[in-house]
Structure 1
Amino acid sequence: MTEPISHDVIRQMVMRAAAISAEAFTNTEQSPEGRLRTLMEGHGEVLAARGPGQPLPFDDFLQMLTGDLALLLPDGVPPEEMTGVQLINDDGLFEEDLFDLDHEQREVARAVHKATRDGRSTSLAELEQEMDQVTVYEGLRKRGTQEAYVKGRSDLSRMSAGTETEVRRLNLPSVVGQFYRPISFAALYEQWWFACPMCRWPMQVTRHRSRKSVTARVRCFYRPHAELMGASYTFKIPDAGKPPSLIPGAPPPAPTGAASVLAPDLRGPVPQPLSAAGYLALTRGPWRYTTIPGLVEIALYDALRSRGFVAAPEPYTSPVALGVGADCPGTVTVWPYQDAYDLHVDVWHRDGETESFLLDIKDFTSEKLLAKKIQADGGDAGGAEWIVVPDHREASLPLLRGVCEEFRLSVATAGDMGEKICRRAGVRWA
């Protein structure tokens, strides 16, 4: 008897097929034959997920690509993280967040697969090979030392794009350096590209025609940077051969309270056009799941350092071992044990006791998928005691708390976490 396919795997199959199909549906640079072939393959994958009892004609499939993703699911499969997700946005463009959801579904599938002890995970046979950022982590670990690992991880977060010379000077392992590629077509206007002021990755460039004029929109591929932090611009089409000049939109409201400490400067200079010649950028996987969360990890680490915490190559519990004075609040270690988790903070109390905070920073587009991954891992896979999300993911806390309580995990935003640590250490945060 064939084991029924789980709802998680059905959602994963539909998500992957929908993402590939929607991208082909909107990609006018691809040949018509290539687009049709991709659409037919995606249609076949969706039919396989729906089963023989729920047919979907090809014409209906094409129409549904412009609507709610959940409508592609077969009856009886709850949409969960796919609820209200739009495949193609109002501008007729492929919605890049689908790549994030696809990746996060595969992270959950991988965690479930690892948790299976009796070898009966036949429903996960479609699980894809290791993703780019997993290869990146393994490549950095091969250097063997904590110092080399931290440098490599930091470099990937601070330089998501740069000149060929700048990338070469990072001296990354070849298996990691291969993920720096020429600037993608989606981020180019003729030969020009623009770096996001937050993550430095090339921003998406799209053209918009009206009866009177043609304008262009430039926005970060990471939605929170574009919608919450001001990485969204327009420009008028310049004369032939001249670079465009970005016009910023209305500035977003500045974060307040504990979140203000880690917030990037939203009033920085407008990004300038850069020639694509000689520039490289990380591929999407390492950028989205190494650079983006890495920026929060580094920001929290730097903020604690600036408030007196001493950097430690590995977690220590004794100020004597580091040769610091009694007024030192404690130590902070980033990516301890070559990234078992993200931050280890020791707060030294005057009575000689040490209070430790083991933090794992998570930035999932779907909090439902993050909750599932925590359940599949049986808590935090690396042994952290706190799940920390970026401040702009605060709305995910109620769901995550309900899941994490089962595994004795605590949950906080990055800003609130920094404030709690500093309060315990007797130093000021905000």
Structure 2
Amino acid sequence: MERNTLRWRRDLALTACCAAAVAEADRTGEPGQRAARLIDCLGVLRSAHGAGAAAALDMHALRRGLRHGLAPLLPASGEEEGDPLSEMRLLDRDGLLCDAVEDLGREHLVPQQALMEYWPWARLRAEQEEQQLYAEIRRLPPADYAKVRELLASDPVAEQGVLWEKWGGLWGRFGFFEPVASWPWCNAAGWCFPCPACAWPMRAQPAGQGVFAVSCDAHLLEGVQYTYRPVRGSSGPPVLEGGGASAGRVEGFPSAGDYLAVSRAVWRYLSLPGRMEFAIRDALTGIAGLDVLMYPGGDRYDLRITAAEPLVAKEWRVDAKAWRSFGALADALLERPVLAAPVPLTIVVPHRQRSDLPLLQARLAGRRDLEVMTDKDFVAEVLRWCRGEW
């Protein structure tokens, strides 16, 4: 079967799984309607597999796959070896939606109206939504544009008064922020906790016996996870107990306060890549002969780094991406026109996703205008060049 058809079938199955997860987690609607939605999703899933494999798919297999890993539910794509989506879980042990559902919905959307009715926020592919977010600020003068990008990366959550002061005259022009008090998913007995790696509110959910599990969706693999046991009668800031390698000390803030945070889409497509961009800038700034420029040419890419005297001349052009699905990212990048620039565009992804990097590199192998590496590997490459180790 043609590879594009196989990939389309896999995307269709993934969309059906996500829609099924939304239906399975919904406890507010009529049971009959919920069952009908699950049956519809199962039908779409079977059609994506074809007659041979569809017989093994029933409602029990669907529900089990949503909770324990999608591998049995996804048809082969021709590139499934090492595919991280195979181990992805869309429902947690309590039957609640995992954060992955929203990201995968944006990144793997198959525009089928029957599924959209159950999944109204998944109407745009992530590349389109990402570009839509950027379009809101691209009309700003270069200095203001850079300021907004850095604020979204450095302060994705803060008290409203603090944000007003930092944003100055730019405040109120964009709808990037939402009240944290309206987000029950990050409320642990009246407190919220910013991730030590990205500063966005971490997810908090009961873990049994009065204990909350607190973790960052993006940085869980790096060990950003905690537990928290509320102390009855205590009014002071709670203390989290770290359970991972990167679980540094964090201070909570009251969930009922006037704190605002960027929306999930802004966090995923502006704040997370922004933190990579500025970390690269800070790591390479001040090196003799190296010039680092943020957002050149109207933000056609994120950084331009040039080496001159006393170094051997070299230029890098960098575009940071923090997508969850490398398969969907590859599709979006391959849809871009081939760049005529003499310097390839380096797609930089988080180092925590390094084990999945071969999938993206293999998909982009035919595009000589694109190369891909992790943020840490990119900084190391530039530093080697500066030491003359090319």
TM-based fold match above 0.5: yes
Counterpart of 1:71 in structure 2 is 72
**How far has the Cα of 1:47 moved from its partner?**
1.7
Contact 2:237–2:253 (Cα < 8 Å) also in 1: yes
Are 2:358 and 1:365 equivalent residues in the alignment?
Answer: no
1:417 to 358, 375, 378: 378
Are 2:85 and 1:85 equivalent residues in the alignment?
Answer: no
TM-score, normalised to structure 1, is: 0.72
Counterpart of 1:235 in structure 2 is 228
Contact 1:187–1:193 (Cα < 8 Å) also in 2: yes
Counterpart of 2:114 in structure 1 is none
Indicate how the Cα distance of structure 1 residues 227 and 394 shifts in structure 2: closer, same or farther if over 3 A, else same: closer
Counterpart of 1:98 in structure 2 is 101
- Secondary structure class of the residue paired with 1:168: helix
Query: Aligned letter for 1:233?
Result: Y
Are 2:299 and 1:339 equivalent residues in the alignment?
Answer: yes
- Secondary structure class of the residue paired with 1:337: coil
- Secondary structure class of the residue paired with 2:146: helix
**How far has the Cα of 1:358 moved from its partner?**
0.8
**How far has the Cα of 1:38 moved from its partner?**
5.1
Indicate how the Cα distance of structure 1 residues 76 and 201 shifts in structure 2: closer, same or farther if over 3 A, else same: closer
**For residues 3-402 of structure 1, what are the structure 2 equivalents within 5 Å?**
6-26=5-25, 30-33=27-30, 37=33, 40-51=36-47, 54=54, 61-73=62-74, 80=80, 81=83, 82-90=85-93, 92-106=95-109, 128-129=123-124, 132-143=129-140, 145-169=141-165, 170=167, 171-172=169-170, 174=172, 176-183=174-181, 184-209=183-208, 213-222=209-218, 225-228=219-222, 230-239=223-232, 242=235, 245-252=238-245, 266=246, 268-305=248-285, 307-308=286-287, 328-350=288-310, 354-377=313-336, 384-402=344-362
What does the per-residue CA deviation read over 1:276-301, in whole Å, with 9 as the maximum and x for residues that have no partner? Answer: 32111111111112111111111001
Query: Aligned letter for 2:101?
Result: L
**How far has the Cα of 1:346 moved from its partner?**
0.9
Query: Aligned letter for 1:376?
Result: E
CA RMSD of aligned residues (A): 3.5
Query: Aligned letter for 2:92?
Result: N
Distance 2:170 2:22 in 1: 32
- Secondary structure class of the residue paired with 2:174: helix
Alignment gaps of 5+ in structure 1: 111-125, 253-265, 309-327
Distance 1:357 1:272 in 2: 39
Distance 1:18 1:406 in 2: 31
What does the per-residue CA deviation read over 1:167-202, in whole Å, with 9 as the maximum and x for residues that have no partner? Answer: 334244756334434341100124321111111111
Contact 1:17–1:43 (Cα < 8 Å) also in 2: no
Contact 1:378–1:407 (Cα < 8 Å) also in 2: no
Distance 2:79 2:371 in 1: 27
Contact 1:236–1:244 (Cα < 8 Å) also in 2: no
Contact 2:268–2:322 (Cα < 8 Å) also in 1: no
Contact 1:191–1:277 (Cα < 8 Å) also in 2: no
- Secondary structure class of the residue paired with 1:208: strand
- Secondary structure class of the residue paired with 1:359: strand
- Secondary structure class of the residue paired with 2:67: coil
- Secondary structure class of the residue paired with 1:370: helix
**How far has the Cα of 1:421 moved from its partner?**
1.8
Contact 2:318–2:347 (Cα < 8 Å) also in 1: yes
**How far has the Cα of 1:347 moved from its partner?**
0.6
Distance 2:59 2:277 in 1: 45
Figure out how many residues of one structure are paired with residues of the other and give that number. Answer: 362
Query: Aligned letter for 1:231?
Result: V
Distance 1:154 1:359 in 2: 16
Which stretch of structure 1 is more off in the superposition, 230-239 or 368-377? 368-377
Query: Aligned letter for 1:137?
Result: Y
Identity %: 25
- Secondary structure class of the residue paired with 1:270: coil
Contact 2:178–2:260 (Cα < 8 Å) also in 1: yes
Indicate how the Cα distance of structure 1 residues 218 and 68 shifts in structure 2: closer, same or farther if over 3 A, else same: closer
Counterpart of 2:118 in structure 1 is none
Contact 1:237–1:244 (Cα < 8 Å) also in 2: no
Distance 1:363 1:404 in 2: 17
Alignment gaps of 5+ in structure 2: 112-120
Query: Aligned letter for 1:68?
Result: G
**How far has the Cα of 1:241 moved from its partner?**
6.8
- Secondary structure class of the residue paired with 1:238: coil
Distance 2:94 2:293 in 1: 44
Distance 1:39 1:154 in 2: 46
Indicate how the Cα distance of structure 1 residues 90 and 237 shifts in structure 2: closer, same or farther if over 3 A, else same: same
**How far has the Cα of 1:368 moved from its partner?**
3.2
TM-score, normalised to structure 2, is: 0.78
Distance 2:68 2:155 in 1: 36
Contact 1:187–1:204 (Cα < 8 Å) also in 2: yes
Indicate how the Cα distance of structure 1 residues 185 and 197 shifts in structure 2: closer, same or farther if over 3 A, else same: same
Indicate how the Cα distance of structure 1 residues 178 and 366 shifts in structure 2: closer, same or farther if over 3 A, else same: closer
Distance 2:237 2:187 in 1: 11
